[in-house]
Structure 1
């Protein structure tokens, strides 16, 4: 990430407001850091700090927006090459995504017992986004993300060390 967004290594700690030549509209980098050691990403926002930034006015605004959302409203555009090999976006609805997460979790047995799930895929991938993290949330499971991007060795180490499924 530092190669693509050098600002995250040189900005003041916890600032989060970064720029990147490759991505001219990119402004914020948020990191979820389990062990608190985010030295390579000093300029990133810490997720825990971002959550604390919300005000009562923000919570009221969010509650109002939540009341307006309907199950068949679009929530995500998942990009796929499908059967043609050409990239295309598939618009997914709230119902579609939550329904998939629920039933994938049931099929995996997440509704029967608490477990810790290894999610080696990036969150922009359908497995990382829906079948992994959202399914875990729907069924109150714990997720471990072994690396910032796919890393087979990190996944194997996490599975072994954390006794993951």
Structure 2
């Protein structure tokens, strides 16, 4: 219904994960959702051959010509292919998985459900963070976020990451 309300009052099966819960559970990618969200499966071979079925409803990841039946949205922007969401999730406020047809709210290609990702809003309180990860075979990743006031009435937020291996 696109309004703020209690999850208990929403007449559709849904799972909501807050940003802090995602960080605590070390969920950094869509593929990492499977153990946390019932009935979500992520089939990822590479960006062109991937699918995200909910309750077993999805499309064949071997066919690039078929559109997915699960709508993927980041800040209310539709991602046309599941492979477009195969990147590290960063600076996430919350992630919602709405099961069942969502055509009225989200439009086409949502016959199995929707994964709606909301990023954190800019704040007038200055914030900054940086995180570095090292791994095997030359893996190196740096993530950074900065947020704060730009003018008296305008705040901004910038997040970026770089991965090398």
TM-score tier by shorter-chain length is: under 0.3
Q: TM-score, normalised by structure 2?
A: 0.22
TM-score, length-scaled by structure 1: 0.22
Larger radius of gyration: 1
Is the strand fraction higher in 1 or 2? 2
The higher-RCO structure (CA 8 Å, 6+ apart) is: 2
